Amino acid sequence: MEAASIPSSVAHDDDHHHHGPPEANQSSSVNREVLGILLFIISEIMLFGAFFAAYFFIRVVSADQWPPGEGLPVAVAATNAAILLSSSVTMHWTDLSAKRGNQAGMRIGIVTTLLLGCTFLFIQINEYLHLGFQPKTSASASVFFGLTGLHGAHVVIGLLLLWMSAVRIFKGKVGPANYKGLEVPGIYWHFVDAMWIVVFTTIYVL
């Protein structure tokens, strides 16, 4: 018995489907946007690492006076740490609300997070005004302003990202089906919060 021949039209269709490169295959379970922000955060960690290296060199190797001036306001910095940690909690609540379709939770969460972030910046700037020393005072003072100022710049960037997310939330464009635009800024904000804990512990406590 002869084998059934494959119609030429089917064969041409198969050839057509196999033309060109194969479709891209996502080998990782991590979303592309999330992977992108994680890689960016790694580069930011290296940037902070350079500043920390300068800090340890000045404090340990050159034995420059630390803390600069008459001392650092540890209690104020600790308050700011508590504020940022609280903002991480509200940001996480906002993310969960988006995944559950809770519009009220998203709006309250993002507004609270923004207010806490702005409060942190206000306290930080007020601290600068009452320190009693400037970046040009000494090498230690330069490193102090460099590290805390670098972190403050990241807080500003984080607030801008959260503001854009807040606009989308209040327009009703964030929900269970499209929350990645909120999740990515949230990851960045958690990084900013965690980095302040490192800065606070290194600069104010040690």
Q: Token pair of 200, please?
A: 């606070």
Whether 129 maps to a domain, the answer reads yes
Whether 13 maps to a domain, the answer reads no
CATH of the domain at 175: 1.20.120.80
Whether 51 maps to a domain, the answer reads yes
The 3-state secondary structure of the chain reads: CCCCCCCHHHHHHHHHHHCCCCCCCCCCCCCHHHHHHHHHHHHHHHHHHHHHHHHHHHHHHCCCCCCCCCCCCHHHHHHHHHHHHHHHHHHHHHHHHHHHCCHHHHHHHHHHHHHHHHHHHHHHHHHHHCCCCCCCCCHHHHHHHHHHHHHHHHHHHHHHHHHHHHHHHHCCCCCCCCCHHHHHHHHHHHHHHHHHHHHHHHHHHC
Q: How far apart are CA 88 and CA 31, in angstroms?
A: 21
The domain tally of the chain equals 1
Question: Chain-wide mean pLDDT for the chain?
Answer: 84
pLDDT band at 79 (very low <50, low <70, confident <90, very high): very high
Whether 8 maps to a domain, the answer reads no
Whether 145 maps to a domain, the answer reads yes
Please write the tens of the pLDDT for every residue from 137-187. 888 888 899 999 999 999 999 999 999 999 988 988 888 887 777 888 999
Query: Can you tell me the mean pLDDT for 49-78?
Result: 84
120: left (phi over 0), alpha (psi -120 to 50) or beta: alpha
For position 126, what pLDDT does the model report? 93
Whether 114 maps to a domain, the answer reads yes
Instruction: Please state whether the peptide bond connecting residue 67 to the residue before it is cis, i.e. omega within 30 degrees of 0.
Output: yes
Q: How far apart are CA 172 and CA 165, in angstroms?
A: 11
- State percent of the chain over pLDDT 90: 48
Q: CA nearest 151: which of 91, 84, 68?
A: 84
Whether 15 maps to a domain, the answer reads no
Residue type, position 47, single letter: L
Residue 31 has pLDDT above 80, yes or no: no
Whether 6 maps to a domain, the answer reads no
Q: Which domain holds residue 48?
A: 30-205
